[in-house]
């Protein structure tokens, strides 16, 4: 009888607990938008946030000569349409690295001068970036998401910019939802046109 019970784990197997990095990867990859948030704002009488779309895909195969690190590369395509009809794109190349047992560190990279932002898209099958041509962003220093051990990642990352400017990334990630606040301040006064996060829901 004891032999049978000892053998059960090998017969049926036990699911290994996911690491914070694996959980984070699952949270952040996919297609997201804040359609629900915008619909609710319009229903309440005024659109406050831009309609925003994130298209996030793993990009490990697009980076050559990369060092071996415990993490993953990601291309984030962001598209915004503001209440006044103006639009903006903002694409980023990120690396996320496991740090300890309860956090994930974000590294934002400046693109090579030969690579315009418009070509940093996940559907660009010809895209290959040499790691040796990359530099960590001069405007966003590495910062860490903290995992609560259950289902939530949070980050609050301030960055001082020239001309008395300050950028703070404030985010909360839970399954299927990314709450993102990009707070830009000038001389201590917010110039971000909204005061609460964009709430992206995974499609």
| 40 confidence band (pLDDT: 50, 70, 90) | very high
State the average pLDDT over residues 63-87.
97
Is the per-residue pLDDT at 9 higher than 70? no
Distance separating alpha carbons of residues 173 and 151, to the nearest angstrom: 8
3-class state of residue 131 by DSSP: helix
- Distance from the Cα of residue 169 to its chain's centroid: 11
Region of residue 197 (left: phi > 0; alpha: psi -120 to 50; beta: else): beta
Full-model pTM: 0.90
DSSP state of 139: S
How many C-beta neighbours within 10 Å does residue 203 have? 10
Helices (H) and strands (E) in the chain, counts: 3, 14
115, 164 contact by CB (below 8 A): no
State the average pLDDT over residues 76-86.
97
- Over residues 102-156, the pLDDT tens digits come to 999 999 999 999 999 999 999 999 999 999 999 999 999 999 999 999 999 999 9
The strand ranges marked E within the chain are 30-33, 51-58, 63-64, 71-81, 87-99, 103-110, 129-130, 135-136, 143-147, 153-161, 165-174, 177-186, 189-190, 198-202
- Over residues 141-196, the pLDDT tens digits come to 999 999 999 999 999 999 999 999 999 999 999 999 999 999 999 999 999 999 99
Provide the residue ranges of all domains of the chain, joining segments of one domain with +: 17-202
Closest CA to 75 of 111, 37, 34, 114: 111
Question: What sign does the dihedral 122-124-126-131 (CA atoms) show?
Answer: negative
Is the per-residue pLDDT at 201 higher than 90? yes
Domain 17-202 coded CATH 2.40.128.590: yes
- Over residues 139-149, the pLDDT tens digits come to 999 999 999 99
pLDDT of residue 100: 87
Is the per-residue pLDDT at 36 higher than 70? yes
pLDDT of residue 182: 98
Question: What sign does the dihedral 162-199-142-155 (CA atoms) show?
Answer: positive
| 6 confidence band (pLDDT: 50, 70, 90) | very low
Distance separating alpha carbons of residues 112 and 116, to the nearest angstrom: 8
């Amino acid at each position: 009888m004891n032999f049978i019970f000892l053998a059960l784990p090998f017969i049926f197997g036990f699911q290994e607990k996911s690491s914070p990095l694996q959980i984070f990867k699952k949270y952040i990859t996919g297609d997201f938008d804040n359609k629900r948030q915008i619909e609710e704002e319009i229903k309440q009488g005024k659109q406050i946030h831009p309609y925003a779309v994130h298209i996030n895909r793993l990009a490990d195969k697009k980076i050559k000569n990369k060092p071996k690190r415990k993490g993953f590369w990601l291309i984030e395509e962001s598209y915004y349409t503001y209440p006044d009809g103006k639009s903006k794109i903002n694409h980023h190349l990120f690396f996320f690295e496991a740090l300890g047992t309860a956090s994930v560190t974000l590294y934002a990279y400046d693109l090579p001068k030969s690579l315009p932002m418009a070509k940093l898209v996940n559907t660009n099958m010809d895209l290959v970036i040499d790691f040796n041509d990359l530099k960590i962003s001069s405007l966003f220093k590495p910062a860490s998401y903290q995992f609560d051990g259950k289902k939530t990642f949070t980050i609050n990352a301030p960055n001082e910019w020239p001309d008395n400017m300050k950028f703070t990334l404030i985010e909360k990630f839970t399954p299927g939802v990314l709450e993102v606040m990009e707070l830009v301040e000038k001389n201590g006064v917010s110039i971000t046109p909204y005061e609460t996060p964009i709430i992206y829901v995974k499609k």
